[in-house]
């Protein structure tokens, strides 16, 4: 079976570039527990603490892939200059992400630094603007790929020689995001927060080939993210948190709706249990359970596939956890707070 080199190269280029640039970005079902990747304006936006450290892990499609897709991150942020800016402060932070798309074929490493400015508007609202800039490395192991000229008439055999050569199987580029947040807290029992962000503002080029074929653009399309959440203290034992999230990039979109409830197990909220349920529209139902012990919050979610993919993965789409540690500077003794987000403190 004859396949010319130019056609093979074009097909390979389109498949690889489509996977790398046209598919939706890395994401977590627990977007609310990955604040710096959701919106850079979240940097230092910590209603009940002065700093926080977090980690996230996602394992996806383990039932249908020999090696599942995995995404992980570590991050941290803090409030600074609280004593030097009247009714405002700066947030500084950073995040490291790593994603592996099956068998090590496509691996992404991303490192971002974030800064945000937070300004109180009277006593009941807060406005924030932030941005981050990062370095991204993507590499591909072409030995695990199969190309059109390795088709023997029945199967693809990657032991056969191929004329397809990647120009640059290891690429690096910079990336920029911006965002804004607004919070409204008329009482210590009611809290609203909304945010908008734009990712890949600089439209960096992402490709394993030195030039684009005709009709194809390898620049990363901008991604738009919006969210709205609330927190309502219904009693001394219960706080309810409804939320919604929407993102769109290059024609692909995701909508997540749901809520969780925190139940106080001790005086002051030092121990809590959290339960929730979310729905990714057209894709998955996502139950959640979490625990709070002191300054540590641990939350688990499981994506129960609700789309046609369920016949292949047995409704087991992905599982995920997030671990967050909140802290206060010693000079504030844990009592300095900048907004009235509902909590169980007496």
Q: For each of the domains in the chain, give its residue range(s) and CATH number, in order of start.
A: 5-332 (2.40.160.40)
Mean pLDDT of 192-199: 96
Quick check: 35 and 46 in contact, CB under 8 A?
A: no
Backbone torsions φ then ψ of 110, nearest 5 degrees: -130, 135
CA distance 89 to 34: 21
Check residue 22 and report its DSSP letter. Answer: I
Q: Quote the distance between the C-alpha of residue 197 and its chain's center.
A: 12
Q: Name which of 196-200, 215-219, 268-272 the model is least confident about.
A: 215-219
Q: Could you please report the per-residue DSSP string of 229-243?
A: EEEEE-SSSEEEEEE
- pTM summary value: 0.85
pLDDT, residue 4, reads 45
Could you identify the residue written with the tokens 């990955």? 34
Among candidates 108, 54, 106, 42, which has minimal Cα distance to 79? 42
pLDDT of residue 126: 95
Q: Which residue from 344, 189, 188 is spatially nearest to 268, judged by alpha carbons?
A: 344
Of 63-67, 134-138, 178-182, the poorest mean pLDDT is in 63-67
pLDDT tens-place string over residues 41-73: 999 999 888 999 999 999 987 666 667 788 999
List the beta bridge partners of residue 59.
70, 319
Render pLDDT for 78-89 as a digit per residue (tens, 0 to 9). Answer: 999 887 888 899
Are the C-beta atoms of residues 236 and 221 closer than 8 Å to each other?
no
CA-nearest of 197, 205, 204 to 223 is: 197
Q: What are phi and psi of 315, to 5 degrees?
A: 70, 5
- Which pLDDT score is estimated for 17? 44
Distance of CA 203 to the CA centre of its chain: 19
- Give CA separation, 230 vs 149, 182, 245, 260, 341, in Å: 55, 12, 12, 10, 9
User: What percent of the chain has a predicted confidence (pLDDT) above 70?
Assistant: 81
The tens digit of pLDDT for each residue in 214-259 reads 777 888 999 999 999 999 999 999 999 999 999 999 888 999 999 9
Residue owning tokens 């926080």: 52
Q: In terms of C-beta density within 10 A (0-12 exposed, 13-18 middle, 19 or more buried), how is residue 287 classed?
A: middle
Helix (H) or strand (E) holding 160: none
Across residues 262-280, what is the average pLDDT? 92
Other CB atoms within 10 A of residue 161 CB: 8
Across the chain, which distance is largest between two alpha carbons, in Å?
77
Question: Cα(299)–Cα(56) distance, rounded to whole angstroms?
Answer: 10
Whether 241 and 259 have beta carbons less than 8 Å apart is answered as yes
The pLDDT value given to residue 5: 44
Strand partners of residue 318: 60, 303
Is 48 in contact with 332 (CB distance < 8 Å)? no
For residue 234, the model assigns a pLDDT of 94
Residue 317 has pLDDT above 60, yes or no: yes
């Amino acid at each position: 079976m004859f396949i010319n080199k130019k056609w093979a190269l074009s097909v390979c280029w389109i498949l690889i570039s489509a996977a790398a640039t046209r598919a939706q970005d890395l994401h977590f079902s627990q977007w609310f527990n990955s604040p710096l990747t959701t919106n850079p304006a979240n940097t230092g936006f910590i209603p009940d603490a002065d700093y926080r450290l977090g980690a996230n892990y996602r394992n996806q499609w383990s039932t249908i892939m020999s090696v599942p897709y995995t995404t992980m991150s570590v991050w941290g942020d803090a409030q600074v200059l609280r004593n030097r800016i009247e009714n405002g402060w700066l947030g500084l932070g950073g995040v490291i992400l790593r994603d592996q798309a099956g068998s090590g074929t496509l691996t992404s490493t991303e490192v971002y630094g974030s800064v945000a400015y937070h300004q109180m508007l009277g006593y009941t609202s807060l406005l924030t603007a932030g941005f981050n800039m990062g370095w991204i490395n993507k590499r591909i192991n072409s030995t695990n790929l199969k190309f059109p000229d390795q088709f023997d008439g029945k199967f693809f055999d990657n032991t056969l020689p191929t004329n397809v050569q990647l120009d640059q199987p290891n690429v690096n580029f910079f990336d920029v995001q911006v965002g804004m947040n607004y919070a409204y807290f008329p009482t210590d029992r009611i809290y609203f927060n909304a945010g908008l962000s734009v990712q890949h503002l600089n439209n960096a080029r992402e490709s394993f080939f030195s030039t684009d074929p005709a009709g194809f653009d390898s620049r990363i399309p901008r991604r738009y993210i919006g969210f709205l959440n609330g927190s309502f203290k219904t009693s001394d034992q219960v706080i309810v948190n409804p939320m919604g999230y929407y993102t769109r990039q290059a024609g692909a979109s995701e909508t997540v709706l749901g809520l969780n409830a925190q139940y106080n197990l001790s005086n002051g909220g030092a121990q809590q249990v959290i339960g929730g349920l979310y729905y990714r529209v057209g894709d998955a139902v996502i139950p959640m359970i979490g625990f709070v012990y002191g300054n540590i919050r641990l939350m688990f979610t499981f994506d129960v596939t609700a789309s046609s993919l369920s016949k292949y993965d047995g409704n087991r789409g992905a599982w995920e956890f997030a671990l967050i540690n909140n802290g206060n500077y010693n000079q504030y003794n844990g009592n300095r707070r900048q907004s009235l987000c509902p909590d169980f403190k007496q």
